A and B are shown apart, each in its own frame.
Chain A
Amino acid sequence: MTHPDRPDRPLLPGDVHDEDHLRRLLATAADTTPVGPPPVATMLRHHRVRRRSRLLVAAAVVVAGAGVGLATSVPFGGDPGPGAGTAAATDMTEESAAEEFAAEDYDALSEDAVRQGADEDAAADSSEDAEVPTSMSGRGGVMPLGGWTSARLEASLAGAWSVGSAPQPASTNGGQEYSFGGGRYELQDDVSTPTAATLYFGDGGTVTAWTGCEAGAGTWSVADGTVSIELTRGVPLCDDGTGLLALLAEDLRSVRVVVADDGTRTLLDEDGRLLAVLRRP
């Protein structure tokens, strides 16, 4: 019958004030609640889907600025079709666009992804590491995003690329590897061939800026869970001649870009899992 933290100090009369008694009461009451096993797999799957969806959504939002000929209706302001991308880009900030897109697209895509990819997800869990390419040379086709089993992201960027930041030593696959986190990274074309892509990361993995693209600069489409992006060579992407491909992932603080001999850019997350592939035709 003492104060919980002052054994020498009497508290109030009554058994309920005895610390041990109260502990026993609570434990007994709590134990009447049956508790099943923790849904760890579900939590991990939700986590992976959320990460991939943010990545996919943000990439799609930005590249939508260049959108002509949308294959499906994508909420990005205005009617989709030729020229729609520019109008939308001028009317919406990147945050509002990302939020609007994320809110609607997440429901549409993630449910689909979870439903269709339930079995594939289990397989992907065991083979995620195996999916990381060791060599990109000659590799073609569309590659799946790491944990997003029913969606694919492909970006085809025409024209030769040069790299806007200092290259690091060549990686083991014969290409060049660049590491960065929380900063800005550019894959920028030379001025004469104004097709380019910029990967922009703000502080802490949050996209802080993006620019729109000129109408007719390229196409992107969503069909059967596949996002395809193709930018047309020789068409200015933006007023300053640069396009911007922004990747937004809340937990993504570090991304590796592996550049293969054929120009394919492979994006890997901090654990080495495949995020996306940017492939030149």
Chain B
Amino acid sequence: MERYDEFSDFVATRWPRLVRSAVLLGCSPAEAEDVVQTALELCLRKWSLVRGADDRDAYVHRVLINTFTSSRRRRWVGERPTAVLPEEHGPDRADEVDLADAVLRALRTLTTEQRAVVVLRYYAHLSEKQTAEALGVAPGTVKSRLSRALRVLAGDPDLVELRGAP
């Protein structure tokens, strides 16, 4: 039972960040939860490998990236249309939503590889080495992708507008 306890503890602490990483990678919120759940179930099946990994977070992010990529290769059937939308009430978060919209649109201008590097480095807080391990590429590749991604983001009109006129 130790394996399941360990897995449960791991999921409890990583779930929110993994789901939000998936959102930044390009998933809708619901799809992000599905993708992360699928990734974590894969991890559970090979938990000994996760446990034995030099860097657990990098390993799990690698599984997440692979699961996300796989989900993009096939028709997504995880969503079910519904005739009744759930009611949502809450405080006005227009500014945050505007910011999120701008950031997500800016991220979508990046290639999948560039987006993954940005998310892992700047949201998941993985080091350059961890990012390279998670993506299965050389650290130099991480640097070059990051550099190109930052150049693209620098010229993104949404982000320029967000930070105001110079």
Chain A positions within 8 Å of B, measured between CB atoms, are: 4-5, 11-17, 19, 22-23, 25-40, 42-44, 46-47, 50, 129, 250-251, 271
Contacts and interface: CB of A to CB of B under 8 A. Distances in A.
Contacts of A50: 45
A144 B58 CA distance: 39
B149 to A, nearest CB: 10
B45 A250 contact: yes
B96 A32 contact: yes
Contact of A17 (B15, B24, B93, B150): B150
24 contacts: A4-B128, A5-B128, A11-B150, A17-B153, A28-B99, A28-B103, A29-B100, A30-B20, A30-B21, A30-B23, A30-B100, A32-B96, A33-B100, A35-B19, A35-B20, A35-B33, A40-B11, A40-B12, A43-B41, A43-B44, A47-B44, A50-B45, A250-B45, A271-B3
Contacts of A37: 15
A38 B154 contact: no
A22 B41 CA distance: 31
Nearest to B17: A30
A84 B11 CA distance: 47
A23 B96 contact: no
Interface in B117-166: 118-119, 121-123, 125, 128, 143, 146, 150-151, 153-154, 156, 159-160, 162-163
A46 B8 CA distance: 14
A6 B134 CA distance: 22
A214 to B, nearest CB: 37
B8 A40 contact: yes
B154 A17 contact: yes
Contacts of B7: 40, 43-44
Interface of B: 1, 3-4, 7-8, 11-12, 15-16, 19-21, 23-24, 29, 32-33, 37, 40-41, 44-45, 93, 96-97, 99-100, 102-104, 118-119, 121-123, 125, 128, 143, 146, 150-151, 153-154, 156, 159-160, 162-163
A126 B24 CA distance: 38
Contact of A47 (B19, B45, B119): B45
Main secondary structure of the interface of B (DSSP, over half): helix
Nearest to A44: B4
A27 B124 CA distance: 9
Contacts of B143: 5
Given A4-B121, A26-B123, A39-B37, A33 B156 contact: no
A52 B112 CA distance: 37
Contacts of A40: 7-8, 11-12
A101 B141 CA distance: 44
Contact of B104 (A22, A27, A29): A29
A98 B12 CA distance: 35
A12 B104 contact: no
Contact of B11 (A23, A35, A43): A43
A62 to B, nearest CB: 23
Contacts of A47: 41, 44-45
Given A32-B93, A43-B44, 10 more contacts: A28-B103, A33-B29, A35-B20, A35-B29, A35-B33, A43-B11, A46-B41, A129-B1, A251-B45, A271-B1
A45 to B, nearest CB: 10
Contact of A26 (B4, B24, B29, B146): B24
Contact of A27 (B1, B123, B153, B163): B123
Given A29-B24, A30-B123, A43 B40 contact: yes
A129 B2 CA distance: 13
B103 A26 contact: yes
A137 to B, nearest CB: 28
Nearest to A20: B122
Nearest to B153: A16
